[in-house]
Amino acid sequence: MPPCRVIFMGSPDFAVPCLEALCAHPELFNVVGVVSQPDRPAGRGRVLTPPPVKVFAVAHKLSVLQPIKMKAEATHQSLRELNPDVLVVAAYGRILPPAMLTLAPHGAINVHASLLPRHRGASPINHMLLAGDADVGVTIMRMEEGLDTGPIYATRALPTPKGATAQSLTTLLANVGAELLVTTLPKIVAGHITPQPQDHAQATFAPLLTKELGKLDFTKSATALERQVRAFFPWPSSYAFKGTQRVSITQVAVVPQVSGAPGEIVSADAQGIVVACGDGGLRLLQVQPEGKKAMPATAWLQGRGIAVGDKLG
């Protein structure tokens, strides 16, 4: 059989290993086109920057499309002309219109970074960490019009790594997803797997994150806030205010028994700065005061930026 003709749709770093894995098996897959989001301004200089998937595709001389309007007939025609057998989607970042889901004979296959039906939506990795899930994983599913509601071809689960952040877990699951994709996709195309419907009653949702969600509420438990710090690293990041100064908090540890009002600095020494929470306390290990570089919390203390009795809110 000739290699399966694949249109790959993805944008961020998470999607790159999947595309790389497809390209690494030319005897199985022929990536006839790559669809990625448009270049966007990034960084302080707002320099127009291509998404990571496009960078990889261009470096490997793959045809790249960056449509502005997904429902435009011109977009659909461009994809039809590539004569794909299947669409593979990994964190593309836009909803596919119904006509695109049936554009290829084998439909659209999604690599989703959670164990569906848990954490449907745009930010599954962050929400897995926020919820304190004991296991994380990746799902290969057939896409339909609902949000991550399609039947499942394969999953791979693994224990949540201790101390994982959204950044480290994204890297891990991207590679797990790539491995699962290249072993599952040939079976899908050959008709050797029957996808199983999801149990919709067990579904949870992982909506888009906003910067405002990063604010730490010290009336919550220290355990919940420690999970938040890891779930929101590096974006949108967790933060608190000392007076009017915003302080990003990027690394913490839980202190089980602490007495003090929520947000109160109850100790500050060479071990770090301890903030009382609704239950327990947080030891701040790394911070970034507004307008400064990231630093150990002890450096913030030595610079007289914080002291016992001060309050974060």
| Whole-number CA gyration radius for the chain | 22
Residue 44 has pLDDT above 90, yes or no: no
pLDDT tens column, 214-229: 999 999 999 999 999 9
**pLDDT at position 305, please?**
79
Q: Cβ of 131: how many Cβ atoms within 10 Å?
A: 15
**pLDDT at position 302, please?**
85
Q: Is the separation of the CB atoms in 229 and 252 below 8 Å?
A: yes
- Looking at per-residue pLDDT, the higher value among 251 and 303 belongs to 251
Residue 123 has pLDDT above 90, yes or no: yes
Q: Band of the pLDDT at 232, cuts 50, 70, 90?
A: very high
pTM of the predicted model over 0.85: yes
Amino acid at 101: L
Torsion of CA 257, 233, 160, 143, to 10 degrees: 140
pLDDT tens column, 68-106: 998 889 899 999 999 999 999 999 999 999 999 999 999
Residue 179 has pLDDT above 90, yes or no: yes
Amino acid at 164: A
pLDDT tens column, 99-110: 999 999 999 999
pLDDT tens column, 264-285: 999 998 888 999 999 999 999 9
Q: Measure the CA–CA gap between 191 and 187, rounded to whole angstroms.
A: 6
Question: Which among 37, 36, 33 has a CA at the least distance from the CA of 23?
Answer: 33
**pLDDT at position 306, please?**
86
**pLDDT at position 148, please?**
96
Please name each of the domains of the chain with its CATH number: 4-202 (3.40.50.170), 211-302 (3.10.25.10)
